[in-house]
Amino acid sequence: MNNNFSFIILTFNEEMHLSRLLDSIKNLNAKTFILDSGSSDSTLKIAEAYGAEVKQNPFENHPKQWDFALKNFKVETPWTIGLDADHTVTPELFEMLANFKEEDYKNINGIYFNRKNFFQGRWIKFGTFYPFYLLKMFRTGIGFSDLNENMDHRFIAPGKTKIWKKGWILEENLKENNIAFWKAKHERYSDLVAQEEIERMLKLRLQSLKPNLLGSPDEKRAWVKRLWWGLPLGLRPYLYFGYRMFFKLGIFEGSTGIKFHYLQGFWFRRLVDRKIKAIQKNNR
């Protein structure tokens, strides 16, 4: 058994993804924990077949689900790796993990993996989506889930972190190839984001990280989010979509990539703004 790190994975009806992920990490011989939120397909049978330890917890949002996982699984290795079920570990990342030596990271508390995001079979590499560094590996008991987020989840590891630029994870949610599924999912997400922004306007939520354009990847994103919250509602989706398409070269993505940028960078953001305005109107 791997003595350096363990995996934690969140699942909900992930039969088309879970085997793909577990196959990509099984030869690392690391303990694997799965927190499921009520799957009705074969997800749990797949988890059992791979020898994973499974717990269940009702889903409220991703940050709270990760918080429950980190607090309720007995992880005995010095490092924890948190992955989503639609991730796959590439051979390059596998090699880096296989050769991981604790003594090389004595002063490091967190490690960022580089993500490649796919939509309908296409790698989205423009429009701010690559490179995209995610803190996925952290010291057990030190890294935690940021509960000041309502929809987007991120781990925080106080102290020094390191970026593995060639340690890729592939993210491809095959269920999202169905646009009806994608829209229904993001309808739910838009409720969470709109409520979060209202709470931030009322100072009921504060950022856990100090925004810093020159800091870690997450501190940079905190800076961008702070800028985003200050932009006019209704106008900012147009500004953002234009930024992604032209300044960040999304226009060169091809028809599938442009569709993704339109849905994720404009349609979804405009939906959120409409819901924020509706909440504000009802509150008045």
What domains lie within the chain, and their CATH numbers? 2-174 (3.90.550.10), 178-283 (no CATH)
Question: Which residues are within 8 A (CB) of 253 and not within 5 positions of it... i.e. 6 or more apart?
Answer: 122, 124, 125, 126, 127, 260, 261
Predicted confidence band at 259 (pLDDT cuts at 50, 70, 90)?
A: very high
Asked whether the beta carbons of 18 and 11 are under 8 A apart, the reply is: yes
CB atoms within 10 A of CB 212: 12
Q: What is the mean pLDDT of residues 29-46?
A: 98
Q: Which residue has the tokens 């570990």?
A: 89
Instruction: Provide Rg for the chain, Cα atoms.
Output: 19
Q: Which residue has the tokens 């095959």?
A: 174
3-state secondary structure of 244: helix
Dihedral of alpha carbons 244, 227, 197, 111, sign = positive
Asked whether the beta carbons of 2 and 29 are under 8 A apart, the reply is: yes
State pLDDT tens for residues 137-161.
999 999 999 999 999 999 999 999 9
Share of the chain above pLDDT 90, in %: 98
State pLDDT tens for residues 164-210.
999 899 999 999 999 999 999 999 999 999 999 999 999 999 999 99
Structure tokens at 16: 């088309």
Please provide residue 207's backbone torsions phi and psi, each rounded to the nearest 5 degrees: -75, 135
pLDDT of 284 > 90? The answer is no
Asked whether the beta carbons of 162 and 112 are under 8 A apart, the reply is: yes
State pLDDT tens for residues 215-257.
999 999 999 999 999 999 999 999 999 999 999 999 999 999 9
Q: What angle do CA 259, 239, 155 make, to 5 degrees?
A: 75
Q: Per residue in 59-76, is it b (16+ CB within 10 Å) or e — as a string?
A: eebbbbbbbbbbeebebe
* Selection from 10, 192, 155 nearest residue 84 by Cα: 10
Q: What is the mean pLDDT of residues 120-132?
A: 97
Question: Which residues are within 8 A (CB) of 82 and not within 5 positions of it... i.e. 6 or more apart?
Answer: 7, 8, 9, 66, 69, 70, 136, 138, 155
**Residue-averaged pLDDT of the chain:** 97
First-to-last CA distance in the chain? 59
Q: Which residue has the tokens 């979060």?
A: 196
What's the whole-model pTM score?
0.96
